[in-house]
Structures are given as structure tokens and as C-alpha cells.
A and B are shown apart, each in its own frame.
Chain A
Amino acid sequence: MTTTDTGARRRSGDVRPVITDLIDAATVEAIAAEAWVALVGEDEVLVPLPGELPVDIVSSWVDVVGPWTGSVVLTTARSTAEELSRALLRDTAPAVLDDEDVADAFGEIANVVGGNVKAALPGPSALSLPQVGNAPLVRNPADVCRLDLLWRGEPVAISVQGALPPLPGTTPTRKNEVS
């Protein structure tokens, strides 16, 4: 007796969660708000209002590898990243912050936000060291939880985005709008 492979069994086994199945924007916002208060300053708030990111932006991110694999990405203007770094370092900030200082401090904020996002996801998962530069591309627009916020009136985007392309027959890939 012959059988026909319709692909149904393979497709059902290929189902994988997208980030919005696992965490909601309110949880990511709460994690970011707590990180901001502790790292940036007690009176520092993130306002959930969209702002237009300028051309000259920088991103910091950590990768999460586990049942869900992707990145937790912070993106803001370079000038805002420098201001954030100075706020984080407070009175320990050197008179002149060099690029390495900014990358280090902005990366540490991504590390703290990303580590706590990872803890809210099904595990076990591994967390990468933070990276700073041009944000990784969004591989699957359906696998993104993005927040647009303002800090001191300046836009800050937080994107929890999957690293894997959509499965065949689902949403097509497009480039990351914030990179």
C-alpha cells in the first residue's frame, strides 16, 4: 500500500512559537522600566509614546538561544546613547566619554534588559555577550515584539525579535525598520 506525503505531519512538527506567544509588550515595558530606574536613575522614566528615530542611530543587543531564539535590541540616537551612558555612570563618568565607554554602557543596558526578558521566556536558554552596532535584521516580521518609547523626550526602540526566518508558507522576510 502506498501513502502520499502531504506534508501535514512535517508541518505540524515544525510549529515553533513566535515571541508574541511567549511575552507581551507590557512585560517587556515593565522590565525596561525597572532597568531604567535602577541603572539610569531613580527619576528616569520611559514614556510609551513613539518618536521618530533620527538617521544617526546605534543599537545594542544580546542574543537569546533556546526554545525561542532571537535578540533583544535597544536602538536610539547616538547622542541619546551617550547621554544614557553618562546617566548610568553618574559621578563615576569620565569627563570625556569615548566610543568604547558608550558601547560598554549602552551594551550593559541591553544585557540587563535582555537577561530579564530571557528569564520570562521558556527555558533553558543561553544569553550572549552584548554587542553594539547595526541591529540584526528582522527575519520574521511576525516574530517581533517592539516598543517605541521616549526617554527625556528622545526616542528609544526596544525590539525582541526572532532570529529565524518564517517557515515556508508563512510571512515573508523584510528588513528591520530600525537598523
Chain B
Amino acid sequence: MRALVIDDSRAMRRIVTGILTGFGYEVRDAEHGRAALDVLDEGWLPDLATIDWNMPVMDGLQFVSAVRANPAWRSMTMMMVTSESEHTQIVRALAAGAHEYVIKPFTADAIRDKLALLGLLPQEVSL
């Protein structure tokens, strides 16, 4: 399976990439929503995108809306991974089209549990 990790923090990209690689994902990353759209435009369509909210150039919510506007990208599951933890923000992201929401700080176990709920955890990874 493929994942696209979108976060303006290089440290957070490394952490999330490390977790997903451990679950068997092939991972690419992008430092903001615009760069992530460029990856999709190349034709590299992931099964999963993890998306930070606050980023320069194009934020996570704008990215989610852009993906939802393109029927060719409908198969991609979008999981917000962000420090925006207010209920209203979670509702906004889900209403825009995100499938799941993980609040920073998170653990690898939290990511694994969310992926299992989404049916995106490779079978060889035990719960």
C-alpha cells in the first residue's frame, strides 16, 4: 500500500513516515498541500494521505477540498493528523471530506488503530 505524508514539519514527516513504513507502506511526503497535489498530478495515487492542518502555501483543509473536487482521486483515504483539536475543527475537516482525524500528539498505536478501522492496515500487522 502507498501513503502520502503531508506536513510542513520535516520532523513530523519523518516520524509519520517511520510509523507507516513499519506497517509496510511505501511512503512519499510533501511539505504542504500544493506539493501534495503535484504528487497526485504525477499519477502517484496513494491509498492513504495523512494531512497536517496548518501549513504554508496550501493548508490541509484546502488540500482535502481540492482532492474531493477531483473524481479521479476519490479512492484515496484522507486522515487529518494535526494539533487542531477543537471539536469545531474536527467537524469542519470531516465535512470537507476527510475520513479520519488524529490529534497530535499521537502514538504509533493510535495510528495503527485508525488504520485498522479504515481497513488500511496490512494483514501481517497485528493489532
> Which A residues fall within an 8 A CB radius of B?
34-35, 37-39, 85, 88-92, 100-101, 104-105, 107-108, 111-112, 114-116, 118-119, 123-125, 127-130
Complex CA distance for A156 and B23, rounded to whole angstroms: 34
Interface of B (DSSP majority class): loop
Q: Please name 6 further chain A to chain B contacts, defined as beta carbons within 8 Å, in addition to the given A104-B10, A105-B10, A125-B86, sorted by A numbering.
A: A89-B15, A105-B9, A116-B103, A118-B86, A127-B54, A129-B54
Contacts of B50 in A (CB 8 A): none
Residues of chain A within 8 A of B106, CB atoms compared = 38
The answer to whether A92 touches B15, judged by C-beta atoms less than 8 angstroms apart, is: yes
Q: Residue-by-residue, is B9-37 near A (CB-CB < 8 Å gives 1, otherwise 0)?
A: 11110110110000000000000000000
Shortest Cβ distance from B90 into chain A, in angstroms? 10
A-B contact count (CB 8 A): 69
Contact A115 B84 (CB under 8 A): yes
Distance A115 CA – B54 CA, assembled complex (angstroms)? 10
B65 within 8 A of A: no
Q: A89-B14, A101-B11, A105-B11 are in contact. Are A119 and B105 (CB under 8 A)?
A: no
